[in-house]
Structure 1
Amino acid sequence: MIRLILGGDKSGKSDFGLQRLYEGTMPSLLLATGRAQDFSFGQQILDHRLARNPEIPVKETGIELPRLLEKSILEYQSILIDSLDFWVFACNKQWEQAQDAFLHTLSLVPEKTQVTIVSCEAGLGPIAASSQVRQFIRRLGALNQAVAAVSDEVCLMIAGIPLYVKKA
Structure 2
Amino acid sequence: MIDLILGGNKSGKSDFGLELLCRGPRPWTLVATGKSRDLAFRRQIITHRLSRDAEIAVREVDTDLAGALGALAPLGGSVLVDSLDFWMFSLAGQSREDARRKREEFFACLQFHEGGNLILVSTEMGLGPLAFDGEIRAFARDLGQLNREIASVSTSVYLVVAGLAQKLK
TM-score band by shorter chain is over 0.9
Partner of 1:67: 67
* 1:122 to 2:125 alignment: yes
Deviation at 1:63, TM superposition (A): 0.1
Counterpart position of 1:106:
110
Query: Which 10-residue stretch deviates more, 140-149 or 94-103?
Result: 94-103
Is 1:145 aligned to residue 141 of structure 2? Answer: no
**Stretches of 4+ moved more than 2 A in 1?**
none
Out of 131, 134, 137, the position equivalent to 1:131 is 134
1:134-164 C-alpha deviation (Å, 9 max, x unpaired): 1111111110001000000000001111111
Show CA shifts across 1:80-124 (max 9, x none): 0000000000012332111111111001110x2100000001211
User: What is residue 3 of structure 1 aligned with on the other side?
Assistant: 3
Asked if 1:53 is matched to 2:53, the reply is yes
Distance 1:78 1:37 in 2: 28
| CA distance in 2 between partners of 1:54 and 1:36 (Å) | 21
Once the two structures are overlaid, the 10-residue window that deviates more, 71-80 or 114-123, is 71-80
Distance in structure 2 (CA, Å) of the matches to 1:98 and 1:150:
18
Q: What is the one-letter code of the residue matched to 1:31?
A: V
Matches of 2:101 and 2:125, distance apart in 1: 21
Q: Which residue of 2 aligns with 1:17?
A: 17
Structure 1, gaps ≥5 residues long: none
Cα distance in 1 for partners of 2:50, 2:76 equals 22
Cα distance in 2 between the residues matched to 1:75 and 1:87: 23
Contact 1:70 1:108 in 2 (8 A): no
- 5+ unaligned residues in a row in structure 2: which ranges? none
Identity %: 43
- What's 1:40 paired with? 40
* Contact 1:79/1:114 (8 A) holds in 2: yes
Residues 28 and 76, structure 1, Cα contact 8 Å, conserved in 2 = no
* Corresponding position of 2:77: 77
Partner Cα separation in structure 2 for residue 72 and residue 108 of structure 1:
13
Aligned residue for 1:73, secondary structure, equals helix
Q: What is the number of residues matched between the two proteins?
A: 165
Tell me the secondary structure at the aligned position of residue 43 of structure 1: helix
Residue 162 of structure 2, aligned match among 154, 159, 168: 159
Q: Distance in 2 between matches of 1:29 and 1:126?
A: 34
